Amino acid sequence: MTTAYDFSARDIDGNEQSLSKYKGEALLIVNVASKCGFTPQYTGLEALQKEYHAKGFEVLGFPCDQFGHQEPGDEAEIRNFCSLTYDVSFPMFAKIEVNGSGAHPLYEWLKKEKSGLLGIGAIKWNFTKFLVDREGNVIKRYAPTDKPEAIGKDVAKLLG
């Protein structure tokens, strides 16, 4: 059975990272963008990271420019924006595609595991979130409008 830990992706510095390094941890996987109406959610995502990291939780940010050209920068610009504007400490990855023929394999798998509203698999916008348990299984998919603060109770329950 495939789990989130079976995938790898380039990190924001261009190094290939196996997600197996997070084995045993719960994850919140999010496609992010710097110039989106939902960008302020970085504050809530960072708060979740700080509150639950020591209990075995990681937020993983995957920049994506497929929605309204809202992530136009390169990885260095994205890293600087996240650091300077939101003091992001959670792992950030290189820009990816989440839909279409160029979609990253992780996102192809996430969409198959938990489809969106009305069974539609495609990611509709930036800041779609997937909660993954400590075994690497997708537990829940959240819409871009679901604020990180509202997800905290699910994270706490998952971590026990």
User: Where do the domains of the chain lie, and which CATH numbers do they carry?
Assistant: 24-159 (3.40.30.10)
Over residues 4-50, the pLDDT tens digits come to: 999 999 999 999 999 999 999 999 999 999 999 999 999 999 999 99
Q: How far apart are CA 74 and CA 79, in angstroms?
A: 9
**Of 55, 25, 19, 32, which is closest to residue 131 (Cα–Cα)?**
25
Amino acid at residue number 77: E
Over residues 133-159, the pLDDT tens digits come to: 999 999 999 999 999 999 999 999 999
As annotated, the active-site residues are 36
